[in-house]
Amino acid sequence: MYTRFDRISISVYILIFLMTACVSHSDTTVVSLANETYSTTYQFTGDSQNTSNLQLTTSQEDVSYSAQVSNFAGKIIATVNDTNLSNIELTIPIGEQQYYVTIASEREDWLDHITITVNPTHNETESAYIPIAFSQSTTTCEIWTDQDGAVNLFAQPLATTQMLLTLPTNIPFIADARTRDGWYRLAIDNTIGWVNGNLVNLSGNCVGLPVDTMIQPTVAFDNSASAPYDVDRHYFAIDINDGAIFTNAVSYPNGDSSDVIQATLSNTHANRTIGVVMTCNGTGVDALRWGLSQDTTLSCGDTLELGFLERSNDLFLTVMLPAVSGQQYVEYQLTAMPIAPADDLQHVMAVDRNEGGILQERVSFPSGDSQDDIAIYIQNLADISPNNFRQVTLVMRCNGNAPQNLRWGNTETIGGCNDTITISLTHEANVQPLRVWIPETVEQSFIEYALYALPSAPADENYSFSIDRDYGGTFSESISAPLGDLVDNIQIMMPNLTTVEPNNLRDMHMTMYCEGANIENIRWGLPGNPTLLCGQTINATFTNANRQQNIEVISNDINASTYVNYTLVIVRVQPEPTLQENPVGG
C-alpha cells in the first residue's frame, strides 16, 4: 500500500512505472528539515524480494528542495540536501516494510512541482501501488516495549555508552528527537537518554521528529572513537564548473568502517574530467584506502581523476578502513574540482581572412592543464593587395570557476577575460604566437574559454578622392563589423570641370562592387540614408558650381560578423549622339 501524509496542501502525483535508466543525483549531508519552512511526508511499502527505485523529479527549473528516506524504525536510508537537480533516483533496500519520504522546501509553491515515483525494479507488469491520501497525524511520537527487561536507555545514541536504565514494559514514552541511524531521545523520570528504535514499538509522527546531528558521541582521536553508522549509499553531487566537497568519517573495528559514495556530475552537457583529492585526519590515516569501487588502492593525500561522459554521469567511490589492530577513526574530505585534461603542446587556430575563426579550450589550476600555447594562422591571404594583409581583433570570452584568474596575450599585450587584443598578419608573416594561462599565485580555478578572431578594418578618417570628367575613377577600401571600421564617408571630387560648355557638366554612373564575408550586410548611398546594396548603380551629376558628391558606406547590422573589401567604380555617362541634317541640295 502507498500512503500519503499532507502537512500542507500541495499537488504531487505518484506515478508507478518501471524506470530502466538509473540517474541518481543528490548532495551529501543529512537533510536539516528543521531549516525548511514547508514539508510533506509520504509513506510506502517496500518490495519483499527486490529493491525499489524512488525517483524525485521537478517540472520547473530552479526548484530547490531537500528530501530524506527513513525506514519504519526511523533510520535514514538516503538523503538529498538542498538540491535543484531535476531528476534524482534513490535505491530502496529489499524488504516488505514501511518507508517514509519527507520532502521539504523553503517555498510552498516549489512543492507543487515535485513528482515522486516508486516502482519495483524487476517487473514492468507488477501491480502498481494504489495511492491513498490522508491527513498527516498531528500526534506526538510514542515509544514503548513489550519485552520485559530487554530494552535499555543509554546516555548517548550508542550501545557502548553508559546505560542509564531499563525501559518498563508497555508504558508509552514521548520522543522529542532522533538520530539519522534510528535512535530516539526520551525523558523518563528526569533521566534523558537514547533508545534503539529497532528494539521498540513506535506510533504517531515519529518520522517527523527533528534529526539531531549534534548529540553524537564526542569524537576524539583515541581508541574509543567510532564513526556512527549512516546511509547505505552517499550521494555526492558535483557541479560541472564549481566542483563540490564531501566529508564523512570511518572507523574500525567499532563503528562504520566503509562508505559507498555515488559521485554524480550535475548540469552535464559535455564530457568532463573531475579531479578528486582526499584529505584526512585522525587515527588510522595511513591505513585508510579509497578509490573507484573496483580499485580501492589510493591513500589519504592522493588524487583521482574521474572521467564523466555526457550520457554517463555517475561513478561509484568506496572509502574504507581495512582490518588493523586497535580502534581507528578517520575523518576525511573529498574535494572535487573540474580539471582541464592535458592536450597538445601547441594549438593551431586557423583564421579565414574574411570570416575569422574561434578556438574553444579549458585551463585549470592547481590540477590539470594550466597553460595553452596557440599559433594563430591566417590561412588564405593572397600575395597582392588588398588580400595580402589583415588586421585581426582577438576577443576572449570565459565561464567557469574563477574566470577572473585567466590571463592571455603576446609579448606586447596581456589581458584577461572580455579583453581584446589587435594583431596584424601579412602574406609573408601569417602566423603569430599567443598564450593563455592561469598564474600559480591564485586559488583553485577551472575556466572554459572561447577565443574569437575577427578580421577588423582599421579605423580611418573621411576619404576624399578625385575623378576625371571624362575617364572617371575608382576607390577601394574595407569595412567590418562588429569590430573595426563600421562607417566610411567618401568625398568624390571632379576638379577639371570648366565654366564653358560642354565641359562644365558631367553625368556619371557610380557602382559598388564587394568581396568578402556577409556582403549583404553592406549599404551605401547618400549620407544619413544609405540604402543601396553591393552591385547596384546610381547616377550622379557634377557641375562647375557643384563639383563634389558625398557617399556613405556602412555595416547595416553592427552585430553581424562582416568583413568586406569594396570598390566604388565611377564612369562617365556618354551623351546620346545627335543627328546632323543634310544641307539643301546636298
pLDDT digits (tens, 9 = 90+) for 496-555: 999 999 999 999 999 999 999 999 999 999 998 899 999 999 999 999 999 999 999 999
For residue 262, give the 3-state DSSP assignment.
strand
Higher pLDDT, 158 or 576: 158
Over residues 61-94, the pLDDT tens digits come to 788 888 777 766 556 677 776 777 777 877 777 7
Upstream peptide bond of 583 is cis (omega within 30 degrees of 0): no
Give the integer Cα–Cα distance in Å for 491 and 505.
18
CA 24 from centroid of its chain's CA atoms: 17
Cell of 52: 525499489
Position 22 confidence tier, pLDDT thresholds 50, 70, 90: very low
Position 404 confidence tier, pLDDT thresholds 50, 70, 90: very high
Higher pLDDT, 414 or 585: 414
Over residues 537-551, the pLDDT tens digits come to 999 999 999 999 999
Question: How many other CB atoms sit within 10 Å of the CB of residue 147?
Answer: 12
Per the CB < 8 A criterion, the answer to whether 266 and 302 are in contact is no
Higher pLDDT, 265 or 417: 417
Per the CB < 8 A criterion, the answer to whether 567 and 488 are in contact is no
Give the integer Cα–Cα distance in Å for 22 and 87.
10
pLDDT for position 87: 79
CA neighbor of 329 nearest in space, from 373, 267, 285, 367: 285
Per the CB < 8 A criterion, the answer to whether 177 and 171 are in contact is no
Per the CB < 8 A criterion, the answer to whether 268 and 306 are in contact is no
Position 221 confidence tier, pLDDT thresholds 50, 70, 90: very low
Higher pLDDT, 141 or 429: 429
Average pLDDT over residues 125-150: 57
All domains of the chain in start order, with CATH: 2-135 (2.60.120.380), 141-203 (2.30.30.40), 234-339 (2.60.120), 347-455 (2.60.120), 463-572 (2.60.120)
CA neighbor of 108 nearest in space, from 58, 54, 65: 65
Enter the pTM of the model.
0.57
Give the integer Cα–Cα distance in Å for 540 and 494.
12
pLDDT for position 14: 27
Over residues 241-286, the pLDDT tens digits come to 778 889 999 998 888 888 989 888 876 666 788 889 899 999 889 9
Higher pLDDT, 107 or 531: 531
Give the integer Cα–Cα distance in Å for 419 and 433.
17
Per the CB < 8 A criterion, the answer to whether 407 and 414 are in contact is yes
pLDDT for position 1: 34
Give the integer Cα–Cα distance in Å for 196 and 228.
13
pLDDT for position 139: 57
pLDDT for position 347: 94
